[in-house]
Structure 1
Amino acid sequence: MDRSATRPADTYSPIYFLASLGAGGIAVTFFMFLMFWVPHPGQPVPVFEDIAAAFGTGSLAMQTAILAAVFGIAVFAFLNIKSLIWNLQSLSAFKKTDAYAKLRETNAEATLLAMPLALAMSVNAMFIVGLVFVPQLWSVVEYLFPMALIAFAAIGVLAFRMIGTFLGRVLSKGGVFDVTAHNSFAQLLPAFSIAMVGVGFAAPAAMSTSATTVAVALMLSTFFGVAAILYTVIAATTAFASMLQHGTARESGPTLMIIVPIVTVLGILFVRQSHGLHVAFETHAQPGETMIFLAQLLSIQIVFLLLGAVVMVRQGYFSDFVMGSKTSPGSYALVCPAVALSVMIHFFVNKGLVGAGAIEKFGAMYWGVTGIAIVAQLVAIALVLRLNRQHFTRRAVPANAVPAE
């Protein structure tokens, strides 16, 4: 095809970092197979040796699941990094344009927070790749945790500097924030970004055997988790008021579901903290309490999934921007809720229902509910493949692209 032909992604937006985020999230959904189906005595997560042992002694079903998980992690972790590198290069070029200067003067400046969000996801994805593919990694993992804390701290500082620049501009003087354009949940992207950093900080809290490492991870993850909750509440409240007055911005409809991934990330953060408190500080959470807590989080997600679906169906978003010929970078935000719902259901089933003794592991009810998680995972995969084809295929005629708000 003619390399001079255009593609929608040539009109760059920082929202394209969500393509990297979505691919990394799908890699996490495949890791759920290993996390909850492969025995891993001696550590809280499965590692290369556990996976190899389960594959060697497991049934055909277990071997099939492991092969699917390993293949899925490899493919989507690759897409995650490939897309991240493309976005970083494209953002660097974008910063030299007048469009970037204009973006920094509008509400859309918040879309820049998609960059630290994607960076944090990639660190999480690479840790999963290490667990799955690197032999004897667990023997040196205590040395890796401080490095992970430093990496997430650097990303966290970057995120807060970007948030500080944005809020400093809009709060220091009036009239620079367009309230009429605040009619979506697009302004929750900064909250999602710092929540992702927070869940990264919580990983050493759940996995380290060093009380000092656990304590540091608990404090840092608590700070970022609380900051994410505060930002979410404030931004969502003001945005909902604007939507009631002006309606939801059509091209930003997918942001109505951004609550779903935020809730999953924060839910995993709190589950990791609970495990760290149990192991390092003998603070015990009851299985029934965990089950109800996860059920409450899942309920919040279902409410916002229904809200987003109702609005986008009424506005014809799916027929135009997903199945149709129109393109919008914001469509990649649809991948996040599907990924987040899949991951949350896996946790609800295994840490909640099975952990509390409500259902039997690998029983009929278990697979019935887990099947919903797998369906959501397949939806996420289909969306990534469809959107990548829409946005990154060169066309002789420029696409009817709609800029993200």
Structure 2
Amino acid sequence: MQTNRPADNYSPLYFLASVGAGGLSVTFFMYLMFWVPHPGRPVPIFEDIMAAFSTGGAPLKTAIIIAMAGIAVFAFINLQKLFWNISAFNRFRKTEGYQKLRNSNAETTLLAYPLALAMSVNGLFIVGLVFVPGLWSIVEILFPFAMAAFLAIGIFALSIIGDFLGRVLTKGGLFDVTAHNSFAQMLPTFALAMVAVGLDAPAAMSTNALVVGVALIGSTFFSTVAIIYAAVALFTAFNSMLHYGTAKESAPTLMILIPLMTILGIMFLRQDHGMHTTFESHTSAAETMIFLARLVSVQVMFLGLGLVVLKREEYFKDFVFGSKTSPGSYALVCPGVAISVLTQFFLHKGLVAAGIVDKFSVAYWVVIAIALAFQWSMVWLVFRLNRQHFGRTTAAAVPAE
């Protein structure tokens, strides 16, 4: 009888356990972002939160307490799973399984490493804003260091992509097209997009034209590479899936475009804000609303596609509610988190800003309910998957690309 944890059968996809928890900390930050007044600043900081808590009513105080607790809990899980993965990955590199992975389609799962690093840096910035008094007074000093960190992570991601493409494009027959029947090869896009959105944060927050300019150019580079890579991986994967069906263990990757829409959407909003405040480029509220509506449309499309395939494959029955385990299950967390976050932006920066929905009206709370439903479903899913994969069990882990 096996008593080891499924996670002991290591895969780099376990970095997604860290990514998912980091994403959930962002969903709790949305409470503060849109309900706590922060005049003169693009984001709320510790002082804004404390002022709102001291003067606000019971509903606002409750929301602040839940938000700060959620950020603290999931930021901790994010870092705990990141450090566990780094340690486990370093051991995994010394095994024959690692060499086998480096010579297969699954080599791109290594991109989960820089993806998790970029998510954690983004998460730590939120933790600083929420819990560190006086941080905003030195934020301009921190921006160059933050950009340097994201640039280093981006170079790390590009080096892994370069090794993979250099191998498969110079020697024929090394890429198994029959195993390309999922969106697993979109993981490099996810990593590059996460670097882009992090690199772009100073564009929305800095008042230094040079810092804003570097952030705009750097984020544009990584997002452009991400979009081009996504287009190639998307169309070739669809071709393989039409021929061979979708790989069951990798079926959750069909919804990877959902978090990509959120990440790239936030990046473009940050770019737009930076160009508006620093370079006097203006976008109307209606234009922003339509832009976000297009992203939400893509999310709904791929949510429907993913759920249809997952239901037909009985994925939830086996890998979420059942006894089987696959590290790829953690890819289910990111789409739910992404829908919750982008719904908040679509509501506040789109519908409310354009005057279509009044803030705190009945329609407003209906949309908020959708965002909260996705958020708390993912909270449950994270704890469920963590029990499955990191608790002692008698079930054997199922390898996944």
Match of 1:108, SS state, is helix
Measure how far apart 1:362 and its partner are: 1.3
Please give the residue correspondences for 1:324-363 in structure 2 after superposition, counting only pairs within 5 Å. Answer: 324-363=322-361
Which residue does 2:396 correspond to in 1?
A: 400
In angstroms, what is the RMSD of aligned CA positions? 0.9
Measure how far apart 1:299 and its partner are: 0.3
Which residue does 1:391 correspond to in 2?
A: 389
**Runs of 5+ unmatched residues, structure 1:** none
Please give the residue correspondences for 1:40-189 in structure 2 after superposition, counting only pairs within 5 Å. Answer: 40-189=38-187
Measure how far apart 1:256 and its partner are: 0.2
Measure how far apart 1:212 and its partner are: 0.6
CA distance in 2, matches of 1:148, 1:364: 40
Q: Which runs of 4+ in 1 moved over 2 A?
A: none
**Runs of 5+ unmatched residues, structure 2:** none
Measure how far apart 1:379 and its partner are: 1.1
Q: 1:145 is matched by which residue type in structure 2? A: F
Q: 2:277 aligns with which of 259, 279, 294?
A: 279
How many pairs does the alignment contain? Answer: 401
Which residue does 2:199 correspond to in 1?
A: 201
Matched, 1:231 2:222: no
Q: 1:317 aligns with which of 315, 322, 343?
A: 315
CA distance in 1, matches of 2:222, 2:365: 34
Q: 1:265 is matched by which residue type in structure 2? A: I
CA distance in 2, matches of 1:26, 1:64: 18
**What percentage of aligned pairs have identical amino acids?**
64
Please give the residue correspondences for 1:245-324 in structure 2 after superposition, counting only pairs within 5 Å. Answer: 245-324=243-322
Measure how far apart 1:400 and its partner are: 2.5
Measure how far apart 1:363 and its partner are: 1.2
Measure how far apart 1:404 and its partner are: 1.2
Which residue does 1:212 correspond to in 2?
A: 210
Matched, 1:221 2:219: yes
Q: 2:371 aligns with which of 364, 373, 388?
A: 373
Q: Deviations over 1:5-48 (max 9, x none)?
A: 30100000000000000000000000000001100012100000
CA distance in 2, matches of 1:347, 1:146: 27
Measure how far apart 1:401 and its partner are: 1.3
Q: What TM-score does the superposition give when structure 1 sets the normalisation length?
A: 0.98
CA distance in 1, matches of 2:103, 2:159: 16
CA distance in 2, matches of 1:318, 1:394: 21
CA distance in 2, matches of 1:362, 1:162: 46
Q: Deviations over 1:176-218 (max 9, x none)?
A: 0000000000000000000000000110000000011000000
CA distance in 1, matches of 2:12, 2:306: 22
Q: Deviations over 1:226-274 (max 9, x none)?
A: 1111111110100000000000000101000000001110000000000
CA distance in 2, matches of 1:367, 1:143: 39
Measure how far apart 1:154 and its partner are: 0.4
Match of 1:358, SS state, is coil
Match of 1:46, SS state, is coil
